[in-house]
Each structure stands twice: as structure tokens, then as C-alpha cells.
Amino acid sequence: MLLKPISEKIQEIQNFRERNRGSKMFNHLSAVSESIPALGWIAVSPKPGPYVKEMNDAATFYTNRVLKDYKNSDTRHVDWVKSYLNIWSELQAYIKEHHTTGLTWSKTGPVASPMSMRSVLTSGSCLSPPPPPPPPPGPPPIFDTDTAKDEGTASRSALFAQLNQGEAITKGLRHVSDDQKTHKNPSLRAQGPPVRSPTKSHTPNPTSPKNSPQQNHAPVLELEGKKWRVEYQEDKNDLVISNTELKQVAYIFKCNKSTLQIKGKINSITVDNCKKFGLVFDNVVGIVEVINSRDIQIQVMGKVPTISINKTEGCHIYLSEESLDCEIVSAKSSEMNILIPQDGDYKEFPVPEQFKTAWDGSKLVTEPAEIVG
């Protein structure tokens, strides 16, 4: 298939991110991994532009984290975010100008073949109208070397040059019918004011007053692109997501005193700013993240490789027999307990919250601190 080479490269990028979950640049890698499928826009019709915007929004979810971490400490990361997001903005502008309703081919051009495609694209004789010159380079990337800049520009050009190599890349994308889209369904719009997109950071500003009045938001449970949005649910214990697909993710935001069940296999789940919330899921191939939450209960029915707990008070995780090899990563959190199935019941094991560090003569050694009560 003509799209096979670019599809393989996209898969390599996504696999590289999974292999480097412990990296300090994990949010950077996630931004690239989540948005790189935008290169498959040539197989999207009739609106490839909105598809690229959706991938750009997916990147923004992670670049907001980068900005939060480095905004006041290292401006190189801020420059990288602007430069990277500019790639997709430029691509959107290009599509809007030349391929608004889908890829346009020259009727008089030669028949495409895997070997001739690159030379045809390079000469510019196949596309009509010819593509505009490449945009000027953005701000400097994180790595301060001229070589890195040249390689980045060359890689970007090579990726765009391969865009016309087939259509297999979008096979896994889920079609969203009109009755699931709020902008095309008047009954959904009538339920209340629009809510903020989960692809944008919802972390409250730490400088804002705690007693500021909260706006009323309409509850949301819908599939937006490949993201399941579950937001502002109150006292709902029958929430269910079914018919899931491997490339889909779930983002759960500000749900209180509610329970959600996710059936099937999904890529990742994020629980953000929730209180007294219960989550039951079958299988996750990536990661389950709990952020800025309180009193969370999670039950794993199948398998999950990693569960991350960050800035959370009270988190109880019930593992299944299949998920006993799951890694629990925690930071700035308290009252965490892992419940392991034993003899038809669960045995509770607390996750250490305090650590002791000592110098052994050559390096620092850190281990959990055992508190005798």
C-alpha cells in the first residue's frame, strides 16, 4: 500500500513514546505521538482540515502541561511548543487553501507508484495547484544545536513528501455520526451552555481565590473524535461507555459522587479534578492517570500496565489477577492503597508516602520510611 511507509513511521513514533514513559520529556513525546496521525489527512474526506485541527487539539492537551512545567524556568520549552503547534497550523492553512474538501489530484498527471511518488512530489507536477513554499522556520527547538534544527526541517519536509502514499492510515479512526455532534444536534445544544474542550488544560489557576463562585456546566458524556469526554457529572452511578476502540482515550473531568464503567479495550484514561469518583474498566493498553483528585476508587477487571497518581488525596486501586504486574507511579499524593485479590477477597497494601534518604559514600539512597503506629 502507498501509505504503508508513513503509517509505519507513525507507529514507530507512538511506540517510542510508550518505551519512554519515565522520561522527563514524556509530555513532549505525548504531544507528538497524539498529533502525528494528522499526517494521514490525505485519506480524510470531505473535511481534512478539521481532522488536522482535532489532532492539533490532542497535542495541545500535553503541550499545556509542558508550558505549566517550564513557563517560568526554561523558555526553550515554550519556544518548542510554539514551533511544534505552528506545524499543524500551517498544514491547516495549506489544506484550507488547496484541498478544502479532500486531496486534489491533477487529471493529467502520471499514475502514482510507490517508487515514483517521491520524485513526482519533489517536482510538484502532480499536485494542482502546486504547493506553496515551506513556511519560515519557527522558534528554536529545545536542543540548542544547528544540527538538530537542520534535521528537524529535513524530517518535516520528508514527512510532508510522503503524504500521498496511500490511505491505510485512517482505517482505525472511528466515524462519529451527526447525532453525536453537538454542533449538528439541536437537542444537545439545548441542554445547556457549551463546555470547555478536554484537550485543553483544566487545572485551576493556583492564584485564583478558593471561594470564587463556580459556573454551572451541563454534564457531558460523548465521543469527540477519538476522545470520550465525561465531564461535570454529579451523583450519577450508572455511567457506562461501551463500543470502545483501541485508539480511543477517555478524559474524565470534575465528576463528583459518580461511577463510570468503561467496557472493552481503550488506549488511556485520565481522571482530573474529580471527587468521590469510582472508575471500573476492562483493559487499558497505555496508562491510567489520576490528577488533582480526592477520594477515588478504581477497579481493574482486566489488564493495565501503568497507573499514575499525582496530587491526589485518597486513591484506592483494586487490581485483578491479570493486572498484578501493573506499575504504580505516585507523586505529591496521600492515602493511597492497593488492594490485591487473595483467597476470594482483597488484601490492602498502603503505598508509601514518606521516604528516607541517606548518603552511602558515593550516591544518595532513598527507600520508604516505615512508620510504627
- Asked if pLDDT for residue 143 goes beyond 50, the answer is no
- Asked if pLDDT for residue 124 goes beyond 50, the answer is no
Under the banding of pLDDT at 50, 70 and 90, the label for residue 151 is low
Under the banding of pLDDT at 50, 70 and 90, the label for residue 165 is very low
Select the more confidently predicted residue: 301 or 125: 301
Mean pLDDT of the chain: 78
CA distance 84 to 82: 6
- Asked if pLDDT for residue 130 goes beyond 50, the answer is no
Q: Note whether 320 and 54 are within 8 A (CB).
A: no
Non-local (6+) Cβ contacts of 259 within 8 A are 236, 237, 238, 239, 277, 278, 279, 280
Q: What pLDDT, on the 0 to 100 scale, is given for residue 355?
A: 86
Q: Which three cell numbers stand for residue 172?
A: 482505525
Q: What pLDDT, on the 0 to 100 scale, is given for residue 197?
A: 46
Q: Which CATH architecture has domain 178-193+218-368?
A: 3 Solenoid (2.160)
Select the more confidently predicted residue: 177 or 224: 224
Q: What pLDDT, on the 0 to 100 scale, is given for residue 227?
A: 94
Count helices and strands (H / E) in the chain. Answer: 7, 16
Q: What pLDDT, on the 0 to 100 scale, is given for residue 199?
A: 44
Lowest mean pLDDT among 14-18, 80-84, 201-205, 313-317: 201-205
Helix (H), strand (E) at residue 81: helix 75-98
Q: What pLDDT, on the 0 to 100 scale, is given for residue 323?
A: 94
CA distance 67 to 10: 25
Under the banding of pLDDT at 50, 70 and 90, the label for residue 364 is very high
Amino acid present at 223: L
Q: What pLDDT, on the 0 to 100 scale, is given for residue 42?
A: 80
Q: What pLDDT, on the 0 to 100 scale, is given for residue 5?
A: 84
497535542: which residue's cell?
59
For the chain, the domains span: 4-170, 178-193+218-368
Report whether the peptide linkage leading into residue 129 is cis, meaning its omega lies within 30 degrees of zero.
Answer: yes
Closest CA relative to residue 64, chosen from 81, 83, 84, 89: 81
- Asked if pLDDT for residue 128 goes beyond 90, the answer is no
- What CATH code is assigned to 4-170? 1.25.40.330
DSSP, residue by residue, 2-28: TTHHHHHHHHHHHHHHHHTTTSTTHHH
- Asked if pLDDT for residue 154 goes beyond 70, the answer is no
- Asked if pLDDT for residue 39 goes beyond 50, the answer is yes
Q: Which of 194-198, 207-211, 280-284 has the highest mean pLDDT?
A: 280-284
- Asked if pLDDT for residue 336 goes beyond 70, the answer is yes
CA distance 85 to 34: 12
Backbone angles phi, psi at 307, to 5 degrees: -125, 125
Question: DSSP label at 160?
Answer: H
- Asked if pLDDT for residue 92 goes beyond 60, the answer is yes
CA distance 146 to 222: 45
- Asked if pLDDT for residue 134 goes beyond 70, the answer is no
Question: DSSP label at 73?
Answer: T
Q: Note whether 217 and 233 are within 8 A (CB).
A: no
pLDDT digits (tens, 9 = 90+) for 177-191: 666 666 556 665 555
Q: What pLDDT, on the 0 to 100 scale, is given for residue 207?
A: 46
